[in-house]
Amino acid sequence: MSRIVIVEDNAQNARLAARLLKKAGHEVTVAEDGEIGLRAVFEQQPDLVLIDLGLPDIDGQTVIGLIRENDSTRTSRIVAFTAYPEDTAAHMAKAYGCDGVITKPIVTGKFAEQVAGFLKRD
């Protein structure tokens, strides 16, 4: 079991992602915007952060930068979780030091496995 923070403002996507990850045995916290997400990440120091790049209060990239700049969360696994076109998503994820990208829409049969793949990496 891993601790995962999902930072996602779209309630439908967040619910679906959380349900699939809980079903796979993970402990999941959902944050609906960047500020709540940052607080959750700093408090919980999760095994993985799944973060939307388009958030209503602070840009997802800015949140990632803040996580990477904080000593206690610098090495967190971060996966961009986005509806950006694949090449843009990959480009942004690389620039901001993400461990990977999962593009929306969520593929229900594959999602937990995709996340598990990032959790397994050294």
Partner 1 sequence: MTSPFFIAKPASQYTFEQLAEIYNESRVDYIVPMPMNAKRLRDYVVQYDVDLGASVLAVNQDNQVAGIGMLGVRAERAWITRLGVIPTRRGRGVGQFIMEKLIENAGARGCTRAQLEVIDGNEAAHNLFDKLGFTTSRQLLVIRRPPGAPPSMPDAHFDALSSDHMPAMLAQRRDQPSWVDETRSVLAAGSAIEGWCVRLADGSSGWVVYRASPFQLSHIVMGSLGGELTGECARALLHAVHTQHARRDTKVENIPAQSPLWSAYQAFDYAIEFTRIEMFKTL
Q: How many residues bind to partner 1 according to rule CB under 8 A?
A: 28
Rounded to the nearest whole angstrom, what is the least distance from the CB of residue 9 to partner 1 in the complex?
6
Q: Give dist(CA 33, CA 96) in Å, integer.
A: 18
In the beta sheet, which residues pair with residue 101? Answer: 80
* Binding residue (CB under 8 A) for partner 1 from 62, 106, 116, 119: 62
Q: Which of 55, 78, 80, 102 binds partner 1 (CB under 8 A)?
A: 55
Shortest gap between Cβ of 12 and partner 1 (angstroms)? 9
Give residues in contact with partner 1 (CB under 8 A).
9-10, 33, 52-59, 61-62, 64-66, 68-69, 82-85, 88, 91-92, 95-97
